[in-house]
Amino acid sequence: MENHNDSSGYWRANVRLITGCLIVWALCSYGFGILLRPLLSGIAVGGTDLGFWFAQQGSIGVFIILIFFYAWRMNKLDKQYGVDEE
């Protein structure tokens, strides 16, 4: 990986990553669980409709996955810009 010593580029990449994670989180929690729930009501998952599943279980699972993804991606970003802790 290249070592970039550009703090503005680092923060741009950081904010872009945070924005992407927030968009995924909002889509799963608000979009699938609330706004698109009527459209997802015909799809059965675990004995209930998909919209209810996202509102109760799926959005939490996606949030946990996003936490691990963010940590993994930030470690790569830190190494790329030479600000890692190692």
pLDDT tens string 14-57 = 999 999 999 999 998 888 888 888 888 888 887 888 888 888 88
Q: What mean pLDDT do residues 53-82 have?
A: 91
Whole-angstrom Cα distance, residue 68 to residue 24? 14
Residue 44, helix vs strand vs coil: strand
pLDDT at 86: 66
**Phi, psi (deg, nearest 5) at residue 5:** -105, 55
> Which tops the pLDDT comparison, 73 or 33?
73
Residue with tokens 């968009």: 23
Q: b/e per residue, 66-86, with b = 16+ CB within 10 A? A: beeeeeeeeeebeebbeeeee
pLDDT of residue 71: 96
pLDDT at 72: 96
